[in-house]
């Protein structure tokens, strides 16, 4: 299987050529709920989910970015149905993270502005890589009591200096942007989103895959972070956008 290559085909065909336990990380966003037609292509969710499980390495992760459509006044809950299916076929639902849009589209009717999508973190067993994004703590003075065990039924503690840094929380905020590079695709996720998951769940030289390449945000950020990448995109028109975006990193 050739790495660092755009595969202009159904992702099921690309994955069929991958051996078992091949990919370290998938960062992807499926076409959901017929919200957009993507030039008329459809996708077979259950077969793709099963293939993702087969090709993911033990400890590897799939980041599945998805939202729900509202039809006849009700949310579809496709996102949850898909998450339950991933669990049913063997993935661990490691986390349900939120992608909060700081510039959401206006909505009509009796509802608040829809400002988020889910970012499900599915792992094959426990994630083998976790390089957390951290922030500096405001209060680093003093000590905290750390439990070290029991002696004669009495809990024992030692003083530890407070950590200077802590992990950020699991709601990531991004502005959705359309620029010269991506304006020809209707459902681009932010480069920073792909970047943050790639640096968190993979290391340099790992293999990062996107089965629904779109405009190529995942391979672009994988390449920028010195990861190997593979991308499948069924539309040849979108593959041209991916090629152009990857060329901006040459």
Ligand X SMILES: C[S@@+](CC[C@H](N)C(=O)[O-])C[C@H]1O[C@@H](n2cnc3c(N)ncnc32)[C@H](O)[C@@H]1O
* Among 64, 125, 124, CA closest to 96: 64
Using the 8-state DSSP alphabet, how is residue 37 labeled? -
Shortest distance, position 233 Cβ to ligand X, whole Å: 5
Among 223, 232, 239, 246, interactor with ligand X by CB under 6 A? 232
Check binding of 201 to ligand X (CB under 6 A): no
Show Cβ contacts of residue 174 under 8 Å, excluding neighbours closer than 6 positions.
99, 100, 101, 102, 189, 190, 192, 193
Distances 17 to 3, 13, 61, 113, 137 between C-alpha atoms, Å: 12, 7, 20, 42, 47
Among 24, 38, 64, 207, binds ligand X (CB under 6 A): 38
Specify the DSSP class assigned to residue 180. T
Residue whose CB is less far from ligand X, 123 or 215: 215
- Write the Ramachandran bin of 48: left for phi over 0, alpha for psi from -120 to 50, otherwise beta: alpha
Region binding ligand X by CB under 6 A among candidate stretches 55-63, 85-93, 180-188, 197-205: 180-188
SS3 1: coil
Interacting stretch for ligand X, rule CB under 6 A, among 38-46, 84-92, 117-125, 140-148? 38-46
Cα–Cα dist 179/98, whole Å: 23
How far apart CA 201 and CA 62 sit, in angstroms, is 9
234 binds ligand X (CB under 6 A): yes
Q: Does 188 bind ligand X (CB under 6 A)?
A: yes
Q: Is 63 in the site for ligand X (CB under 6 A)?
A: no
User: What is d(CA 169, CA 121) in angstroms, rounded to the nearest whole number?
Assistant: 14
Stretch that binds ligand X, among 105-113, 149-157, 171-179, 229-237 (CB under 6 A): 229-237
Task: Using the minimum distance from each CB to ligand X, give the nearer residue, 9 or 173.
Answer: 9
Q: Helix or strand or coil: residue 163?
A: coil
Question: Residue with CB nearest ligand X?
Answer: 214
Q: Which stretch binds ligand X (CB under 6 A): 79-87, 118-126, 142-150, 228-236?
A: 228-236
Single residue of 101, 124, 185, 227 touching ligand X by CB under 6 A = 185
Which residues make up the interface to ligand X (CB under 6 A)? 10-11, 29, 31, 38, 41, 43, 185, 187-189, 212, 214-215, 217, 232-235, 238
């Amino acid at each position: 299987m050739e790495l660092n290559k755009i595969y202009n085909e159904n992702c099921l065909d690309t994955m069929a050529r991958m051996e078992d336990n091949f990919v370290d990380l998938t960062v992807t966003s499926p076409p959901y709920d017929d919200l957009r037609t993507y030039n008329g292509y459809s996708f077979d969710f259950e077969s793709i989910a099963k293939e993702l499980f087969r090709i993911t390495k033990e400890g590897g992760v799939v980041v599945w970015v998805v939202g729900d459509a509202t039809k006849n006044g009700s949310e579809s809950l496709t996102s949850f149905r898909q998450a339950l299916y991933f669990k049913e076929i063997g993935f661990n639902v490691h986390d349900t993270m939120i992608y909060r849009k700081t510039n959401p589209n206006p909505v009509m009717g009796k509802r608040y502005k829809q400002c988020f999508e889910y970012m499900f973190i599915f792992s094959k067993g426990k994630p083998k890589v976790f390089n957390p994004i951290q922030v500096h703590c405001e209060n680093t003075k003093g000590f905290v009591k750390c439990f070290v065990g029991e002696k004669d039924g009495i809990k024992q503690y030692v003083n530890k200096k407070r950590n200077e840094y802590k992990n950020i929380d699991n709601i990531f905020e991004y502005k959705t942007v359309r620029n010269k590079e991506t304006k020809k695709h209707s459902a681009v996720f932010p480069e920073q989103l792909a970047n943050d998951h790639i640096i968190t769940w993979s290391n340099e030289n790992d293999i990062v895959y996107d089965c629904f390449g779109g405009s190529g945000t995942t391979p672009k950020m994988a390449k920028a972070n010195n990861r190997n990448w593979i991308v499948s995109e069924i539309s040849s028109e979108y593959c041209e956008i991916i090629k152009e975006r990857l060329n901006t990193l040459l």
